[in-house]
């Protein structure tokens, strides 16, 4: 996969748990876990914006392009 999700790294830096972030963002733990574990096929901009807002980061801190 060319897009890597580094959400777990940013969550660790901010010392935020999965359930805490899911609650703040307004999505289920299961959906956030899918995103965190790089299993998601897509992400809504509104969700990405909410995550960035809660973690005080930029989308590029979470999403990374890696050539295959």
| Mean pLDDT for back-to-back runs of 10 residues, the chain (68 residues) | 90 96 96 94 95 97 92
Take residue 12 and report the two structure tokens written for it: 């660790």
pLDDT at position 68? 78
CATH of 3-65, one of 1.10.260.40, 3.40.140.10, 2.60.120.10, 2.60.260.20: 1.10.260.40
Please list the alpha-helical segments (H only) found in 1-68: 7-14, 18-25, 29-36, 45-55, 59-62
């Amino acid at each position: 996969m060319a897009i890597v999700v580094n959400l777990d790294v940013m969550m660790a830096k901010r010392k935020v748990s999965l359930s805490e972030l899911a609650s703040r963002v307004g999505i289920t733990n299961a959906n956030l876990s899918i995103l965190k574990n790089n299993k998601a096929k897509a992400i809504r901009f509104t969700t990405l914006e909410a995550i960035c807002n809660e973690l005080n980061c930029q989308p590029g801190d979470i999403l990374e392009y890696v050539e295959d």
